Structure 1
Amino acid sequence: MSTLLVTGGAGFIGSNFVHYVLSHTSHRVVVLDALTYASSGSALQGLPADRVELVVGDISDAALVGDLARTADAVVHYAAETHNDNSLVDPAPFVQTNIVGTYTLLEAARLHGTRFHHISTDEVYGDLPLDDPAKFTADTPYNPSSPYSSTKAGSDLLVRAWVRSFGLEATISNCSNNYGPRQHVEKFIPRQITNVIDGVRPRLYGKGENVRDWIHADDHSSAVLRILEHGRPGETYLIGADGEKNNMEVIRAILTEMGQDPSAYDHVADRPGHDLRYAIDASKLRDELGWTPEFTDFEAGLRDTIEWYRKNEDWWREQKAAAEAKYANTGH
């Protein structure tokens, strides 16, 4: 049995990974999470206490991170500020967490010789034209558009530098847009689902033509575990499930699955610097490591996600009010 230090393991995709690891391996997991607004200890409820430990703390705390890395066999680094809209209002937390926090973790892993896997995003590559069949690969030049994606790009480059300069045994994965249970309601899909539950018409940025490549969080978790166990140090793997859909299609699918008129949504002013299209070429991950996604039917995965939010209103109700108050200030 190995011990994994999972940063951000009480957030959406981090907690999904913790649940997945405990269900599919014998590993023990130590979660380091600051329990900011986007994470919650409740995301780890029901997990065996002898195999998961929650440490509340900041990834920029060098002493704490050093102590945890010293006893871990691997660090899986999910912790990040991730919401584009928030980064446009106040970039400072994104610089502190995504850049300084990643540096702190890398130094601890270097000191203790700890295997390191870094979770990143396809947004570091910028965007693609709507009418271009091309997809992002690990060789696509970085061209981030927002404070969020810029700081994630910076963290990726730090990992690459620590591999080359110090010989750190590290890998990177850049994933497309995740969806599934326990995602904060400020994010696109859960915001629309909870709006419909509340009898509020969903809101669509601009014309709704922006394309995202959707992947269920369980598939993301299975890919990260495969990379952690079999990936080549120094390599970058892109994770995607060929789930391209534009935002209008997603909203219409949500409304249809929830028994509403698929046209019952409103357009609002577009977000500044809104990327047009993301698309992932995951052939390297599939060919080299034999990974395949399980959730290839987006509508079925969306149906399960809607059902989870319907059954777990107590989980999201409080955060919903705070998220909508933020959006009200921007007119979105």
Structure 2
Amino acid sequence: MKRLGYFKKLSLAARWFLPQDEAESVVDDYRDILREIGGQEEAVKRFGPPWKPVIELSDRRKVLRWHSFLALLIFCALVPVIDIILEGTGFYFSNSAGDLLLCGIVYLFGLDVILGGLNSKVITWVSVVVLTLAGIFLFMLHPLELISNLLAPLKRAVFGRDFPICFQIEYFIITGAVISMVYLGFGGNKRRKHIKKSLILGFAVVLFVIACVYGFVMYCFYVDFSLMMHFEIITACEIAAVLLFIGALLSVIMAKMFDYRWRAVYILCIMGIVICFETHNLWWNMNPSIYNEYGMPTTMWVKEVTTFFTWDLGYGLVLAAISLL
């Protein structure tokens, strides 16, 4: 059991610090080696702590690359949660965070493309300086606003009007999905495995939480709007958003260490957080202009909100489905 304990820790370290193919090779090699030695004490004496041989085998640049992309993935899920917490203050963190995120993506992907397999310190430092200056320049141009302006005709065609910048938080679903797909790649025949029950369960739990929030909002709009007035919708959205953020964090870890398809759960978690934000935002921004003479939201307002919620739900599900390939 002691030997298995050492091997399990080494396996987890390998999956965390090394690319998946390299991690599987190291795990297979050490599985055979550890069978030939006397136990955990002998393994520690020969190799040191379980993570030491893995770190010695790892490429520090690849480890830094993974942790950088991990930070971006967590950032995509964290920004909507922060905006929910700051709701009512008039400040939307996502406005500047979106620009910062896009600059970070350009920086990391650009550095990855330029360096490739090079080990030259001079080229590395030159690339860092150039990309840092380019990132600062891009940040000053407010890229999120530029993207919003480019997509404005499409949004007017779908929703009938432009939405305020606070609703651009939906871009974090797309951004998180793109980063996870590019970094983790797609399985192919070599890496294809059966979907485990834990992944199915995680997928189902997150979908259930999203369905509860979405279903509640639709029920209030079309059946009984007074229910929204009496239910603690703000507190419920905040709790759901925090739980979904924890789910996003855990699913990213699971995707890196065990099965890349856990990124589907990660994408669903961000989608759920965004829907919680939108529900939270609608509650804070309700005003007399949305009500008709009977004290109910107007048909046009309900249609706009329904279209907006359903649109986010639709492309979030599509991205999650694609990430399972």
TM-score, structure 2 normalization: 0.29
Of Structure 1 and Structure 2, which has the larger fraction of its residues in strand? 1
- Answer 1 or 2: which has greater helix percent: 2
Is the radius of gyration larger for structure 1 or structure 2? 2
